[in-house]
A and B are shown apart, each in its own frame.
Chain A
Amino acid sequence: MNLIEMNSICKRYHNIGFETQVLEDVTLHIKEGDYVSIIGPSGAGKSTLMAIMGCLAQPTSGEYILDGEEVGKLNDRKLSRARNEKIGFVFQAFHLLPGVTALENVILPLVYAKRSPGNAKDKARELLARVGLEHRLHHTPGQLSGGEQQRVTIARSLINDPRIILADEPTGNLDSKNGIETMKTFDNLVKEGKTIVLITHDKEVAQHAGRIISILDGQIASDRRVNHAENTEVRST
Chain B
Amino acid sequence: MRIFKNLGQALRGLRLNRGNTLLMTLGVMIGIASLTVIVAIGDGIKIKVLNRIANMGFGPESFSVIAGGGRMFFTRSKNTTSMTLEDAEDLLALPTVRLVVPRQRKRMKIINKKEFTSTRVYGVTPDWQLARGWEMTDGDFLSDSDLGRRKKVVVLGATPARKLFKGKESIGKMVRLENNFYVVIGLLEEKGMTESGYDPDDRALIPLTTSMSRLTHQTYLHSIKVVTLDASQVPETMETVRQVLRRNHNLSVLADDDFRFITPEGIMQWVTESEQALNRMLILISTVSLLVGGIVIMNILLVSIRERVREIGIRRCFGARRSDITFQFLFESILVSLLGGIMGVGLGLIISFGLKRFDVLPTHITVEPFILSFVFCSLIGLIFGIHPARKAAMLSPEEAIRSQ
Contacts and interface: CB of A to CB of B under 8 A. Distances in A.
Contact of B321 (A95, A104, A112): A112
B320 interface: yes
A117 to B, nearest CB: 14
Most buried by B among A80, A84, A98, A99: A80
B398 interface: yes
Interface string B1-22: 0100100110010001000000
Given A56-B398, A98-B16, A83 B319 contact: yes
B396 interface: yes
B397 interface: yes
Given A56-B401, A95-B313, A111-B9, A100 B16 contact: yes
B310 interface: yes
B314 A95 contact: yes
Given A97-B311, A111-B5, A81 B319 contact: yes
Interface in B308-329: 310-311, 313-324
A51 B16 CA distance: 28
Most buried by B among A57, A96, A99, A112: A112
Contact of B317 (A54, A100, A113): A54
Majority DSSP secondary structure for residues of B touching A: helix
A26 interface: no
A178 B300 CA distance: 40
Contacts of B2: 112
B5 A56 contact: no
Given A95-B313, A95-B314, A111-B9, A56 B319 contact: no
B397 A56 contact: yes
Contacts of B321: 76-77, 80, 112
Nearest to A94: B314
Q: Which 8 A-B pairs have the closest CB atoms?
A: A84-B319, A112-B319, A57-B398, A56-B398, A109-B318, A51-B398, A80-B321, A56-B397
Contacts of B397: 56-57, 83
Interface in B374-404: 396-399, 401
A108 interface: yes
A46 interface: no
Given A56-B396, A56-B398, A95-B401, A83 B318 contact: yes
23 contacts: A51-B398, A56-B316, A56-B401, A57-B396, A57-B398, A58-B396, A76-B321, A76-B322, A76-B323, A80-B320, A83-B317, A83-B319, A95-B313, A95-B401, A96-B314, A108-B314, A109-B318, A109-B319, A111-B9, A112-B5, A112-B324, A156-B318, A160-B319
Contacts of B8: 111
B306 to A, nearest CB: 15
A148 interface: no
A104 B318 CA distance: 13
Interface string A52-65: 00101110000000
A182 B311 CA distance: 24
A96 B311 CA distance: 8
Interface residues of B, number: 25
A85 interface: yes
Contacts of A85: 319
A35 interface: no
Contacts of B9: 111
Contacts of A98: 16, 311
Nearest to B318: A109
A186 interface: no
A108 B318 contact: yes
Nearest to B9: A111
Contacts of A99: 16
A115 to B, nearest CB: 11
Contacts of A58: 396
Given A56-B401, A100-B16, A111-B9, A84 B396 contact: no
A80 B396 CA distance: 11
A156 B318 CA distance: 9
Nearest to A113: B319
A22 to B, nearest CB: 12
Given A56-B397, A100-B16, 16 more contacts: A51-B398, A54-B317, A56-B317, A56-B396, A57-B398, A57-B399, A77-B321, A80-B319, A81-B319, A83-B318, A95-B314, A97-B311, A97-B314, A97-B315, A111-B9, A112-B319
A89 B318 contact: yes
Contacts of A83: 316-319, 397
A99 to B, nearest CB: 4
Nearest to B317: A89
B22 to A, nearest CB: 15
Given A95-B313, A112-B324, A84 B401 contact: no
Most buried by B among A76, A91, A111, A113: A111
Most buried by A among B12, B310, B319, B323: B319
Nearest to A83: B319
Nearest to A112: B319
